[in-house]
Structure 1
Amino acid sequence: MLTLYSFGPGANSLKPLLALYEKGLDFDQRFLNPAVFEHHEAWFKKINPRGQVPALDHDGRIVTESTVICEYLEDAFPDCAVKLRPADPWETAQMRVWTKWVDEYFCWCVSTIGWERMIGPLARSIPDDEFEEKMKHIPIPEQVTKWRNARAGFPKEVLEEEMRKVRVSVARLEARLAESPWLAGDSYTLADVCNFAIANGMEKGFADVVNPQDTPHLVDWIARINARPAAQEMFARSKREVMTPRKTEAA
């Protein structure tokens, strides 16, 4: 029995979600709403004490960390027709270079901009007392700091540096995809799944950086993954909460 707890088909939650659909595995989807801090409620922290998604429950055994979950699925279900990890050790190493890079570099710069644009307005719409109470239930100190930074607004120099890293990331992806159809070579692998989780939607959110004129290979790669039957099924059957500010009552 598999149950995936996630925020839906976006960012880190998308990685194992898409991997599960690609491999054709039966699983229960449990979508949590980050806008109401559902992942910090006591019931979920019994599943993952760190209060983070995604988290995979496999027959009562919990696996956390998005890329680790993807690799776990390859190990736990070796007989699946779809393989997302190459059989060749060298090709697997190339795949892991890309999954390591997205986790340690690409994800973070895109995430900071996302927090500024989407989480910030939500955080500022929460009354002070309620916001402070919510912070008490977040188990990771760094996440508390991130919420406070989003509420206050990230400093201009931080945002400029993160945008520089976004451009570096996009240039690296474009250069690689100009050489090969997929990031780790000729085969679609977890390298593509994990980077797509962050890159998908950048044509809208970062249109001045990701567009058909400047990054044709990256745009084509994003479109090819979106066109895959597994991706289409995932988006059709999944939901993603929108982090919108709360409405204030008229005086």
Structure 2
Amino acid sequence: MLTLYSFGPAANSLKPLLALYEKGLEFTPRFVDPTRFEHHEEWFKKINPRGQVPALDHDGHIITESTVICEYLEDAFPDAIRLRPTDPVVTAEMRVWTKWVDEYFCWCVSTIGWERMIGPMARKLSDAEFEEKMKHIPIPEQQAKWRNARAGFPQAVLDEEMRKVRVSVDRLEKRLSESPWLAGDDYTLADICNFAIANGMQFGFAEVVNREATPNLVAWIERINARPAAQAMFAKSKSEMPARTPVPAA
């Protein structure tokens, strides 16, 4: 049996969620409400002591880290629809893109998201309420990020992260001008993992992601959104998720 604990179809949680739908695997979705800080509650920290989603429970074995979960699904269910190439050269190219999104692209988009969304949410808490929440966050770096978001990130930091966003967008646009998918001719985990961060940038970062400046990137985002698995994921998730403010990638 598979159970996926996630924030729903956005950011890092979207990666294994979409992979499960694309592979046609049956699973139980457990949506963890970030506005209620459920991922920092003791019941969830028994599942993942780091207090982070997504987390996959496969017959009692807990797999964490979004990209690792996606690769695990490829190994654990080899007879399901493949999202990892069979050619080792193309697989390496796929992993270059999944490594890049985890180490670079995700983080610059995330910082802007924290400034725009998490900061206002954190500032609504009283000092006492905020400090009580901090006590339950097990990762010191995450505590620091919450404090920075509450205070407001320095403008120099935001400017640098926006520079990295533009570098990321340019890299994606260039690659997608050369082939329909990031690792070549086939849709793979490279696309899923980058789509998890890029989806919606045509609205939230419209000054850099738009039909005039990045036609190939926008077309790629639209192609993935049009896939039956993506449509099913978003439709199903809307009926199962409580209304809430989305939390950017960790």
Give the TM-score of the pair, scaled to structure 1. 0.96
Tell me the alpha carbon deviations over residues 23-46 of structure 1, each in whole angstroms, 9 at most, x when there is no partner. 000000000111111000000000
> Structure 1 regions of 5+ residues with no counterpart?
245-251
Alignment-derived partner of residue 126 in structure 1: 125
SS in 2 for 1:26: coil
Alignment-derived partner of residue 237 in structure 1: 236
Which letter maps to 1:129? A
Which letter maps to 2:90? E
Q: Within 2, Cα distance between the matches of 1:195 and 1:122?
A: 26
Q: Within 1, Cα distance between the matches of 2:230 and 2:125?
A: 34
Across the aligned residues of Structure 1 and Structure 2, the Cα RMSD in angstroms comes to 0.9
Q: Within 1, Cα distance between the matches of 2:30 and 2:126?
A: 28
Q: Which shows bigger deviation, 126-135 or 162-171? A: 126-135
Following TM superposition, the consecutive aligned residue runs of length 4 or more in structure 1 with deviations greater than 3 angstroms are 239-242
Which letter maps to 2:54? P
Alignment-derived partner of residue 213 in structure 2: 214
Which letter maps to 1:221? W
Give the TM-score of the pair, scaled to structure 2. 0.96
Alignment-derived partner of residue 7 in structure 1: 7
Q: Within 1, Cα distance between the matches of 2:234 and 2:125?
A: 30
Q: Within 2, Cα distance between the matches of 1:33 and 1:130?
A: 18
Give the C-alpha shift of residue 229 in structure 1.
Answer: 0.1
Which letter maps to 1:9? P
Alignment-derived partner of residue 46 in structure 1: 46
Q: Within 2, Cα distance between the matches of 1:163 and 1:242?
A: 26
Query: What does residue range 1-251 of structure 1 map to in structure 2 within 5 Å?
Result: 1-80=1-80, 82-239=81-238, 242-243=244-245
> Structure 2 regions of 5+ residues with no counterpart?
none
Give the C-alpha shift of residue 242 in structure 1.
Answer: 3.2
Tell me the alpha carbon deviations over residues 63-108 of structure 1, each in whole angstroms, 9 at most, x when there is no partner. 000000000000000001x210000000000000000000000000
Q: Within 2, Cα distance between the matches of 1:57 and 1:138?
A: 21
Identity of aligned residues (%): 80
SS in 2 for 1:179: coil
